[in-house]
Amino acid sequence: MKFSRKKHTNQTLLQLYERLLLPRMIEEKMLILLRQNKISKWFSGIGQEAISVGLTAALEPDDYILPMHRNLGVFTGRNLPFDRLFAQWQGTMRGYTKGRDRSFHFGTNEHHIVGMISHLGPQNGVADGIALAGKLLKEKRVTAVFNGDGGTSQGDFHEAVNVAAVWDLPVIFVIENNGYGLSTPSNEQFRCKSFVDKAIGYGIAGVQADGNNVLEVYDTVKTIADAMRKKPKPVLLECLTFRMRGHEEASGTKYVPKELMDAWAKKDPLDNYEKYLLKEKVIDQKYIDSLRKKIKQEIEQGLATSFSESHPAAETDREMTDVYAPFVQQVKAPASEKKSEKRFIDAISDGLRQSMEKLPNLVLMGQDIADYGGVFKITEGFVSKFGKDRVRNTPLCEAAILGSGLGLSIKGMKSMVEMQFADFVTEGFNQIVNNLAKAHWRWGQQADVVVRMPTGAGTAAGPFHSQSNEAWFFHTPGLKIVYPSNPYDAKGLLCAALEDPNPYLYFEHKLLYRSIKDMVPDDYYTVEIGKANLVSEGRDLSIITYGMGVHWAREILNSLPAVSADILDLRTLLPWDKEAVEATVKKTGKVLELHEDTLTGGIGAEISAWISEHCFQFLDAPVMREASLDTAIPFAPTLENNFLPKGRLAKKIEALQNF
Ligand SMILES: Cc1ncc(C[n+]2csc(CCOP(=O)(O)OP(=O)(O)O)c2C)c(N)n1
Q: Which atom of ligand 1 is nearest to the CA of 182?
A: 11
Q: What is the DSSP secondary-structure string of 511-534?
A: GGTTT-EEEEESS-----TT--EE
Q: Is the CB of 247 under 6 A from ligand 1?
A: yes
What is the pLDDT at residue 543?
Answer: 98
Q: Taking CA 135 as the corner, what is the angle to CA 129 and CA 140, rounded to the nearest 5 degrees?
A: 120
Question: 468 and 598 in contact (C-beta within 8 Å)?
Answer: yes
**What span, in angstroms and rounded, lies between the C-alpha atoms of 417 and 442?**
23
Any ligand 1 atom below 6 A from CB of 150? yes
Question: Quick check: is 614 catalytic?
Answer: no
Q: Which residue, by CA, sits nearest to atom 3 of ligand 1?
A: 119
**Does any ligand 1 atom lie closer than 6 A to the CB of residue 210?**
no
C-alpha dihedral (540, 545, 546, 549), degrees to nearest 10: -80
Nearest in space to 476 (alpha carbons), one of 513, 431, 419: 431
Q: Is this model's pTM higher than 0.85 or not? A: yes
Q: Do you find a cis peptide bond into 575, omega within 30 degrees of 0?
A: yes
Q: How far is the CA of 69 from the centre of ligand 1 (A)?
A: 9
How would you write 539-570 as a 3-class SS string? CCEEEEECCHHHHHHHHHHHCCCCCCEEEEEC
Nearest CA to ligand 1 atom 1: 119
Chunked into runs of 10 residues, the chain (659 residues) has average pLDDT values of 95 98 97 92 95 98 97 98 96 96 96 97 98 97 98 98 98 97 95 95 98 98 98 98 94 93 97 98 98 98 94 96 98 98 98 98 98 98 98 98 98 98 98 98 98 96 97 98 98 98 98 98 98 98 98 98 98 98 98 98 98 98 98 97 98 97
> Which is the closest atom of ligand 1 to the Cα of 147?
15
pLDDT given at position 542: 98
Report yes or no: 66 and 146 within 8 Å, Cβ to Cβ: yes
Q: Alpha-carbon distance 503 to 481, whole Å?
A: 9
* Closest to 480 (Cα-Cα) out of 455, 457, 450: 450
Other CB atoms within a 10 A radius of the CB of residue 569 amount to 25
CA-closest residue to ligand 1 atom 11: 181
Q: What is the pLDDT of residue 655?
A: 97
- Ramachandran sector of residue 195 (left: φ over 0; alpha: ψ -120 to 50; beta: rest): alpha
Distance (Å, rounded) from C-alpha 565 to C-alpha 537? Answer: 6
Cα 150 to ligand 1 centre (Å): 6
Which region holds residue 196: left if phi is over 0, alpha if psi is between -120 and 50, else beta?
alpha
What pLDDT was estimated at residue 292?
98
120 ligand 1 Cβ < 6 A: yes
> Exposed e or buried b for every residue in 156-183, given b needs 16+ CB within 10 A?
bbbbbbbbbbbbbbbbbbbbbbbbbbee
pLDDT at 538: 98
Q: Does residue 246's CB lie within 6 angstroms of at least one atom of ligand 1? A: no
**Which residue among 68, 120, 245, 430 has the greatest number of ligand 1 atoms within 8 angstroms of its CB, and so is best to mutate?**
120
* CA 566 to centroid of ligand 1, rounded, Å: 53
Q: What is the pLDDT of residue 41?
A: 86
- Strands in 65-66's sheet, in edge-to-edge order, are 107-108, 113-114, 65-66, 143-148, 171-177, 235-240, 205-210
For 462, list phi and psi in degrees, rounded to 5.
Answer: 80, -175
Determine the 3-state secondary structure of 441 from DSSP: helix
Give residue 40's pLDDT: 81
